[in-house]
């Protein structure tokens, strides 16, 4: 018979003043349990390594597979079983109820789904199993509409160009004017802003001052042609141009069309 967990039952155990060590009750996939005393700040990877070292001295060790084929499962603060894939997390980060950890086989179907469900549960403060038990036509209709909306957004984003994706992740913050905004004049150095070219995956970068009165539709192509032949010789690496009034990054350009 498995003994009672040695971890204190206090509800605020993991939020109280930390102790040096914590007692864990670990349920192994080969039908044995191991009691482990580890540091409060131990990572799950360290716990797994200690478990396997201890399991080597126990019966039925031959039934275990490689460590990488297993993940930890525990009961979280919402009283819902939760799997954790990130083994760099500490024990005090996951806060297993009663210090009980179950080692289960890693799921190979739709990886990351359990993690996403867990994050949603923590965000809304309820387990998703509570919503699965609901029998409401209104809830089902809302779910269906939200799913269609998410699928439409996913398809639209999948068909977008590289420039559109770039503008989505890094929205440009320049005014839609041919002149420099008045609020930026005080940041300019001798009425010039700086164009900085950075080559991807290298430490190479080039800069050039451009007068604020110069036509930008001419300045950008000229600047790209200046370094274009050199950059092409560097294994066709992708590069970007940053427009800087002084030290603040304003926008990123992918000037392939100018080469």
- List pLDDT tens digits, range 1-42: 555 555 555 555 666 656 677 888 888 888 888 888 888 788
Note the pLDDT of residue 24: 84
SS3 186: helix
Note the pLDDT of residue 64: 82
- In this structure, are strands 100-105 and 21-27 parallel, antiparallel, or unpaired? parallel
Give 3-state DSSP helix, strand, coil % of the chain, rounded to 5.
Answer: 40, 20, 40
Reading phi first (left if > 0) and then psi (alpha if -120 to 50, else beta), residue 27 is in beta
- List pLDDT tens digits, range 117-139: 777 777 777 766 676 666 778 87
**Average pLDDT over the chain, rounded to an integer:** 70
CATH of span 21-132 = 3.10.20.770
Model confidence, pTM = 0.43
Contacts of 220 (CB under 8 A, 6+ apart): 195, 241, 253, 255, 258
Note the pLDDT of residue 40: 78
**What single-letter DSSP state applies at residue 257?**
G
Note the pLDDT of residue 65: 81
Highest mean pLDDT among 184-198, 205-219, 228-242: 184-198
In percent, the amount of the chain with pLDDT more than 90 equals: 0
Q: Where in the chain is the domain with CATH 3.10.20.770?
A: 21-132
CB-CB contact of 241 with 220 (8 Å): yes
Note the pLDDT of residue 231: 38
Highest mean pLDDT among 66-70, 123-127, 228-232, 247-251: 66-70
Of 26, 18, 31, 28, the residue nearest 98 (C-alpha):
26
pLDDT category of residue 243 using cuts at 50, 70 and 90: very low
Reading phi first (left if > 0) and then psi (alpha if -120 to 50, else beta), residue 201 is in left
Of 182, 259, 251, the residue nearest 222 (C-alpha):
259
Note the pLDDT of residue 27: 87
Tokens of 30: 């080969």
pLDDT at position 111 over 60: no
Torsion sign (Cα): 212, 213, 215, 219: negative
């Amino acid at each position: 018979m498995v003994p009672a967990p040695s971890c204190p039952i206090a509800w605020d155990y993991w939020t109280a003043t930390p102790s040096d060590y914590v007692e864990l009750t670990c349920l192994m996939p080969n039908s044995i349990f191991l009691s482990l005393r580890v540091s409060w700040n131990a990572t799950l990877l360290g716990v797994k390594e200690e478990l396997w070292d201890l399991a080597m001295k126990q019966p039925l060790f031959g039934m275990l597979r490689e460590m990488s084929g297993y993940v930890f499962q525990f009961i979280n603060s919402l009283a819902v079983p939760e799997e954790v894939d990130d083994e760099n997390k500490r024990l005090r980060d996951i806060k297993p109820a009663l210090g009980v950890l179950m080692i289960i086989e890693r799921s190979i179907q739709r990886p990351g789904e359990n993690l996403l469900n867990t994050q949603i549960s923590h965000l809304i403060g309820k387990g998703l199993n509570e919503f699965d038990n609901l029998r409401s036509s209104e809830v089902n209709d809302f779910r269906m509409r939200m799913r269609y909306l998410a699928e439409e957004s996913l398809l639209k984003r999948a068909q977008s160009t590289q420039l559109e994706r770039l503008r989505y992740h890094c929205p440009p913050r320049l005014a839609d004017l041919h002149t420099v905004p008045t609020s930026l004049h005080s940041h300019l150095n001798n009425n010039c802003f700086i164009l900085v070219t950075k080559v991807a995956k290298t430490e190479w970068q080039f800069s050039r001052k451009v007068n604020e009165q110069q036509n930008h539709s001419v300045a950008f192509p000229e600047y790209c042609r200046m370094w274009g032949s050199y950059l092409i010789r560097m294994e066709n690496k992708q590069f970007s141009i940053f427009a800087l009034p002084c030290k603040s990054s304003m926008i990123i350009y992918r000037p392939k069309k100018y080469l």
